[in-house]
């Protein structure tokens, strides 16, 4: 095979014929086009004239060039040109194809399979035995060297796994093979792994190593974190070069339970940055429904991170002391708490024992002084297990002896007897403001507004631990909020009330922020191994390497210890695991995962994945030659002056076809002319059914109706237009007449989308099954069945047979029958709303709704309306005078219909006329 750049030739000696081209050139030049013989009496006058241009007997150069090119294309075509001919690489001996098969491979898995296929077919040609191993799915025992074809048959069953094998497994496997003396092709996933260097060293020991790597950037998404009320997502990538912008999608269920994209945000990797961050600020309602985040357009488990309970809305229990002031809502101890927490948390109310059993995330006690011993014990156990107890002071707490002498286990500090009142009528000093929050405080960073002041509080007993337990204090340094950690949980005390009695804190936005901060700090952290010991977690959903979430099916449960490590592997598939009370996500990419580009030793040759496919070009060259010869025919005819008479339109048609296939501009121009024709005047339109007879009838019918409208009303429609649902814009037309034929093709999904838009935006479709003479509406005539098929995807409201007070009965003429060529009474329109009532003093109901989007009937209206070019009726209607009367009523129905479409409920509004007149009169 001869290769010229990327093109090779299977029969290169044929190219020698190209030498003959110059000869051909001269031959063609020498032979002029055949002359036309014409009988012409004027020849006597021509005698003696001489041609001015002596060159004209030779073919023009461009025609010669065309012909020469055609011949050249034929010669080249038959010499068997091949794009990217596969050059054979030398190689022999056994071959090992090693695949990483991790999640990072998933993105271009098909290219990898193609590459392996190419490698295998090469090996097959060279007769080399091949073994194939996937590091994430290691074969048992020694390598099996088989014929390459046997492996090629197994390629479709290979799939990447959503994890990375650990070092021990990989190295143990390699040592277990113990083989030597084979060449290795390693399809790497492009990432550095702990075992990469070691393994490559050993592989090189066994024989020559060639690495194939994709050059595509590898992106991954770390688990979402909830920071400062926003969702923080961090993307990471392997190579920091180049600026990339990707989109992060948040998937979840919408309120109807349908999976949707709930949010979307850009992830911008700046040049040189390996990481990019995006903050998604979502309303809690939305946030709680998020099931997973993913980088758009990347099919890889690394680009997906599952959301677990950590992002969910928390349960908060509110418990107030005895409520003895029933009805005074603003004074209720929990009123402001409810207001503050309602939007962000699920509130639970009830008796304390029940609440503790429900295990909420937080319990708030507003001015509750004493608890029964049982309650106290249960509460303490709950707090120790990780609960957050928030208490608010109040008159009762101040009056009680709780935490006086010694610290109550459910109080963060000891309290002094009584309390303090500042700035009141009977006290010294001014109401106290807040001191800025210290750095240790969870409230650090929140601004303390000046208008917040405290007039009364309970005082903490000075203790050695008081300073560290204070997380907010007044301007004079007295503690306002104290906190104590109890094992996993914590107890927080606000030294003032939860209502506005003692302070204006609950009235400020700061209150909400403080509660949020406190609640945020209660979100479940990554569970420790000890905590998880002994538990079993059942996989609920698992993630494939391609980033698809699938049902876990019957996968076995996973011990909690394994889950605590959260490193996915063969025993722990990434996915969502359900425990007793919550669900944990195991993601491919952990919060700390770094992606590093794999580094290979100098001795290893690294190639790309691209397989340059052999593309035979013979067909292309031959069709080019054929095309050139066709052009030559036209050009020759034109040159010889024979492109006249009947040939001219044919040639024009051929050229037009060429241009039409080549130029989208013409289509756009046609669109414009269509739009202009449809919008310059009112235009009635019908849907093209594909049945020429029915279409012609529809056009004739609309033309006839248009003439009647022109004559009798102020509507002056232009000629009707046939609308192709697949290609034409619908929104120009007030009405679409749609005759239904039994064998009409169902429109495409896009056409239905347009039709639905049309219906929603006020369009009307008149369906006519044209079979009212033989079938009642809805019964199973072929056209009726077709209508059901056609209308099923349409957004059609409930229908009813046209009621006698429908606005269609009086938009122009007063009608009660709607005959066409047939006189069935079955005409259906949008149903009136259920509550419509008869207007006072009017014979019809008050139906001020939209234009009915559909009118369905089978009376073959178009046939009754149809007139030919001379204005004569095309189809007979009925017999004699009654027939003519029926046609007249049919026309009147048409007039009413168009009036209804164009004026909407105008006539329906007439029910208000008495009321308006009445009002005007006064």
Which position among 11, 22, 31, 57 is part of the footprint of another protein (CB under 8 A)?
A: 57
- CB-CB contact of 114 with 611 (8 Å): yes
Q: Which of 37, 322, 879, 919 binds another protein (CB under 8 A)?
A: 37
Determine if 62 is a binding residue for another protein (CB under 8 A): no
CB of 622 to another protein, least distance (A): 30
> Are residues 481 and 493 in contact, defined by beta-carbon separation less than 8 angstroms?
yes
Of 19, 23, 34, 256, the one binding another protein by CB under 8 A:
34
For residue 38, the minimal CB distance to another protein (Å) is 5
Q: Quote the CA–CA distance of 585 and 589 in Å, as a whole number.
A: 11
Write the Ramachandran bin of 384: left for phi over 0, alpha for psi from -120 to 50, otherwise beta. alpha
Q: Which listed range, 39-47, 134-142, 339-347, 906-914, lies at the site for another protein (CB under 8 A)?
A: 39-47
Q: Least Å distance between CB 651 and another protein?
A: 15
Q: Which of 13, 19, 23, 36 forms a contact with another protein (CB under 8 A)?
A: 36
Q: How far is the CB of 636 from another protein (least distance, A)?
A: 10
CA distances to 364, 419, 422, 491, 495 from 472, rounded to whole Å, are: 18, 17, 18, 14, 10
The nearest distance, CB 25 to another protein, in angstroms, is 20
47 or 917: CB nearest another protein: 47
SS (H, E, C) 270-315: CCCCCEEEEEECCCHHHHHHEEEEEECCCCCHHHEEECCHHHCCEE
| Shorter beta-carbon distance to another protein: residue 37 or 879 | 37
Binding span for another protein by CB under 8 A among 37-45, 139-147, 229-237, 392-400: 37-45
Asked if 46 touches another protein (CB under 8 A), the answer is: yes
By rule CB under 8 A, what count of residues binds another protein?
A: 27
Measured from the CB atom, the residue of 44 and 256 that comes closer to another protein is 44
Least spacing, CB of residue 631 vs another protein, in Å: 18
Residue with tokens 């009169």: 921
Query: Who contacts 425 (Cβ-Cβ below 8 Å, separation ≥6)?
Result: none
Q: From CA 318, how far away is CA 124, in angstroms rounded?
A: 74
H/E stretch holding 549: strand 549-551
Residue 646 interacts with another protein (CB under 8 A): yes or no: no
Q: Rounded to the nearest 5 degrees, what angle is found at the Cα of 451, between the Cα atoms of 447 and 456?
A: 105
Which one of 26-34, 170-178, 195-203, 607-615 is the stretch in contact with another protein (CB under 8 A)?
Answer: 26-34
Q: Could you tell me which residues come within 8 angstroms of residue 891 by beta carbon, excluding any fewer than 6 positions away?
A: 704, 705, 708, 864, 865
Piece of the chain touching another protein by CB under 8 A; list 29-37, 113-121, 124-132, 711-719: 29-37
* Contacting range for another protein; rule: CB under 8 A; set: 162-170, 610-618, 633-641, 767-775: 633-641
The answer to whether residue 45 forms part of the interface with another protein (CB under 8 A) is yes
C-alpha to C-alpha distance for 10 and 76, rounded to whole angstroms: 11
Q: Which stretch binds another protein (CB under 8 A): 30-38, 421-429, 487-495, 501-509?
A: 30-38
Least distance CB 61 / another protein (angstroms): 16
Residue 922: which H helix or E strand, with range? none
Binding of another protein by 56 (CB under 8 A): yes
Q: Is 49 in the site for another protein (CB under 8 A)?
A: yes
Q: Specify whether the backbone of 809 is left (phi greater than 0), alpha (psi in -120 to 50) or beta.
A: alpha
- Tell me which stretch binds another protein (CB under 8 A): 43-51, 234-242, 282-290, 597-605: 43-51
CB of 852 to another protein, least distance (A): 59
> Of the listed pieces 357-365, 562-570, 636-644, 674-682, which binds another protein according to CB under 8 A?
636-644
Rounded least distance, CB 691 to another protein, Å: 39
Answer yes or no: are the C-beta atoms of 903 and 735 closer than 8 Å: no
Buried b or exposed e, range 719-747, using 16+ CB within 10 angstroms: ebbebebeebebebbbbbbbbbbeebeeb
Interatomic CA distance for residues 866 and 454, integer angstroms? 87
Considering only 2, 7, 24, 33, the residue that binds another protein (CB under 8 A) is 33
The tokens of 840 are what? 């006072």
Classify each residue of 753-774 as buried b or exposed e, where b means 16 or more C-beta atoms within 10 Å of its C-beta.
ebbbebbeeebbbbbbbbbbee
Contacts of 733 (CB under 8 A, 6+ apart): 678, 683, 684, 685, 721, 723, 763
Closest distance of CB 882 from another protein, Å: 54
Query: In the complex, what is the shortest distance from the CB of residue 69 to another protein, in angstroms, rounded to a whole number?
Result: 23
Q: Name the token pair of 96.
A: 């090992």
Does residue 197 come out as left (phi exceeding 0), alpha (psi in the -120 to 50 range) or beta?
alpha
Under rule CB under 8 A, residue 39 binds another protein: yes
Nearest CB to another protein, comparing residues 283 and 641:
641
Contact 796, 828 (CB under 8 A): no
Q: In whole angstroms, what is the distance from residue 566 CA to residue 588 CA?
A: 9
Cβ contact 590:222 at 8 Å? yes
Residue 47 contacts another protein per CB under 8 A: yes
Q: Which residues pair with 845 in a beta bridge?
A: 838
Run of H or E including 76: helix 61-78
From 40-48, 137-145, 421-429, 456-464, span contacting another protein (CB under 8 A)? 40-48
Q: Is position 711 an interface residue for another protein (rule: CB under 8 A)?
A: no
Q: Which of 6, 22, 32, 616 binds another protein (CB under 8 A)?
A: 32
Q: How far apart are CA 81 and CA 10, in angstroms?
A: 6
Candidate residues 640, 653, 913, 915; the one interacting with another protein per rule CB under 8 A: 640
- Which region among 32-40, 563-571, 597-605, 713-721 touches another protein (by CB under 8 A)? 32-40
Enter the tokens of residue 900.
Answer: 């209804």
Does residue 879 interact with another protein by CB under 8 A?
no
**Which one of residues 5, 19, 23, 51 is an interface residue with another protein (CB under 8 A)?**
51
Contact flag: residue 840 with another protein (CB under 8 A)? no
Q: Which residues pair with 244 in a beta bridge?
A: 269
Q: Identify which of residues 56 and 172 has a Cβ nearer to another protein in the complex.
A: 56
Is residue 28 involved in binding another protein (CB under 8 A)? Answer: no
Q: Are 584 and 562 in contact (CB under 8 A)?
A: no
569, 165 contact by CB (below 8 A): yes
In the bound complex, what is the minimum distance in angstroms from residue 646's beta carbon to another protein? Answer: 13
Q: Residue 72 and residue 200: Cα distance in Å, rounded? A: 52
Please say which residue, 651 or 677, places its beta carbon nearer to another protein.
651
Cα distances from 520 to residues 109, 312, 385, 641, in angstroms, run 41, 11, 17, 89
41 sits near another protein (criterion: CB under 8 A): yes
Binding window for another protein (CB under 8 A); candidates: 50-58, 490-498, 844-852, 855-863: 50-58
Return the residue of 19, 23, 44, 834 that touches another protein, per CB under 8 A: 44
CB of 33 to another protein, least distance (A): 6
Q: Which of 5, 13, 19, 53 binds another protein (CB under 8 A)?
A: 53
Our CB check for another protein shows the closer of 43 and 426 to be 43
- x-or-dash pattern for another protein, window 714-753, by CB under 8 A? ----------------------------------------
Among 5, 38, 180, 426, binds another protein (CB under 8 A): 38
Distance of closest approach, residue 62 Cβ to another protein, in angstroms: 16
Residues at the site binding another protein, with contacts judged by CB under 8 A: 32-47, 49, 51-54, 56-57, 639-642
């Amino acid at each position: 095979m001869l290769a010229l750049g990327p093109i090779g030739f299977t029969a290169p000696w044929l190219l020698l014929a190209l030498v003959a081209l110059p000869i051909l050139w001269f031959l063609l030049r020498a032979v002029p086009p055949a002359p036309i013989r014409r009988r012409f009496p004027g020849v006597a006058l021509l005698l003696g004239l001489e041609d001015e241009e002596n060159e004209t007997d030779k073919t023009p150069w461009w025609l010669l060039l065309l012909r020469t090119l055609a011949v050249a294309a034929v010669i080249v075509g038959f010499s068997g040109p091949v794009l990217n001919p596969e050059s054979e690489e030398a190689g022999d001996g056994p071959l090992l194809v090693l695949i990483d098969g991790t999640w990072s491979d998933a993105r271009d898995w098909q290219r990898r399979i193609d590459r392996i296929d190419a490698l295998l077919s090469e090996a097959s040609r060279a007769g080399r035995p091949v073994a194939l191993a996937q590091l994430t799915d290691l074969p048992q025992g020694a390598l099996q060297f088989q014929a390459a074809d046997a492996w090629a048959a197994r390629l479709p069953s290979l799939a990447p796994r959503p994890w990375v094998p650990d070092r021990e497994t990989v190295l143990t496997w390699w040592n277990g093979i113990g083989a030597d003396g084979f060449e290795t092709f390693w399809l790497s996933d492009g990432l550095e792994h702990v075992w990469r260097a070691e393994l490559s060293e050993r592989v090189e020991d066994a024989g020559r190593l060639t690495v194939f790597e994709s050059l595509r950037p590898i992106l991954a998404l770390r688990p979402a974190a909830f920071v400062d009320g926003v969702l923080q997502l961090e993307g990471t990538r392997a190579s920091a070069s180049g600026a990339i912008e990707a989109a992060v999608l948040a998937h979840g269920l919408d309120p109807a339970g349908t999976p949707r994209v709930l949010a979307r945000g850009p992830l911008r990797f700046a040049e040189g940055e390996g990481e990019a961050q995006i903050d998604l600020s979502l309303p809690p309602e939305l946030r709680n429904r998020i099931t997973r985040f993913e980088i758009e357009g990347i099919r890889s488990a690394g680009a997906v991170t599952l959301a677990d309970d950590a992002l969910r809305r928390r349960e908060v229990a509110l418990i107030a002391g005895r409520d003895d002031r029933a009805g005074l809502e603003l004074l209720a101890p929990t009123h402001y708490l409810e207001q503050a927490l309602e939007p962000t948390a699920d509130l639970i109310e009830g008796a304390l024992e029940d609440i503790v059993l429900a295990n909420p995330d937080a319990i708030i006690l507003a001015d509750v002084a004493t608890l029964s011993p049982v309650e106290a014990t249960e509460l303490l156990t709950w707090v120790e297990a990780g609960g957050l107890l928030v208490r608010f002071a109040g008159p009762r707490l101040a009056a009680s002896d709780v935490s006086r002498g010694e610290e109550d286990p459910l109080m963060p500090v000891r309290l002094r007897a009584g309390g303090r009142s500042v700035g009141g009528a009977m006290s010294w000093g001014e109401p106290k403001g807040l001191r800025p929050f210290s750095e240790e405080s969870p409230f650090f960073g929140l601004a303390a507004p000046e208008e917040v002041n405290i007039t009364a509080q309970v005082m903490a007993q000075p203790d050695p631990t008081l300073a560290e337990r204070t997380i907010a204090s007044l301007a004079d340094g007295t503690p306002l909020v104290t906190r104590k950690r109890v094992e996993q949980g914590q107890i927080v005390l606000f030294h003032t009330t939860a209502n506005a009695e003692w302070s204006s804190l609950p009235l400020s936005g700061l209150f909400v922020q403080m509660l949020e901060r406190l609640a945020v700090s209660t979100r479940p952290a990554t569970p420790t191994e000890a905590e998880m010991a002994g538990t079993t977690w059942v996989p609920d959903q698992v993630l494939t390497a391609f980033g698809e979430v699938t049902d876990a099916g019957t996968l076995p449960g996973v011990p909690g210890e394994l889950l605590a490590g959260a490193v996915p592997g063969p025993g722990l598939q990434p996915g969502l695991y359900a425990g007793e009370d919550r669900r944990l996500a195991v993601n491919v990419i952990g919060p700390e995962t770094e992606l590093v580009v794999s580094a290979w030793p100098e001795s290893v040759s690294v190639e790309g994945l691209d397989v340059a496919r052999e593309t035979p070009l013979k067909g292309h060259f031959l069709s080019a030659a054929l095309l050139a010869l066709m052009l030559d025919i036209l050009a020759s005819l034109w040159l010889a002056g024979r492109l006249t008479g009947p040939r001219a339109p044919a040639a024009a048609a051929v050229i037009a076809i060429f241009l039409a296939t080549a130029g989208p501009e013409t289509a756009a121009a046609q669109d414009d002319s269509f739009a202009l024709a449809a919008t310059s005047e009112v235009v009635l339109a019908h849907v093209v059914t594909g049945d020429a007879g029915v279409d012609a009838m529809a056009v004739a019918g609309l033309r006839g109706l248009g003439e009647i409208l022109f004559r009798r009303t102020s509507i002056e429609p232009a000629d009707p237009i046939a609308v192709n649902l697949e290609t034409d814009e619908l929104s120009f037309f007030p009405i679409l007449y749609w005759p239904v034929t039994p064998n009409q093709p169902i429109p495409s999904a896009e056409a239905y989308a347009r039709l639905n838009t049309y219906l929603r935006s006020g369009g009307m479709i008149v369906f006519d099954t044209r079979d009212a003479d033989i079938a009642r509406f809805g019964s199973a005539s072929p056209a009726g069945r077709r209508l059901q098929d056609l209308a099923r995807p349409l957004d059609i409201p409930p229908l009813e047979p046209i009621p006698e007070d429908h606005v269609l009965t009086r938009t122009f003429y007063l009608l009660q029958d709607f005959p066409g060529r047939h006189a069935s009474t079955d005409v259906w329109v949008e149903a009136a709303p259920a509550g419509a009532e008869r207007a006072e003093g009017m014979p019809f109901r008050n139906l001020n709704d939209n234009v009915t989007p559909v009118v369905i009937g089978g009376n073959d209206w178009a046939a009754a309306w149809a007139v030919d070019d001379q204005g004569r009726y095309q189809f007979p209607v009925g017999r004699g005078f009654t027939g003519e009367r029926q046609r007249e009523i049919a026309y009147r129905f048409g007039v009413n219909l168009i009036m209804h479409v164009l004026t909407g409920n105008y006539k329906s509004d007439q029910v208000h006329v008495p009321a308006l007149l009445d009002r005007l009169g006064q």
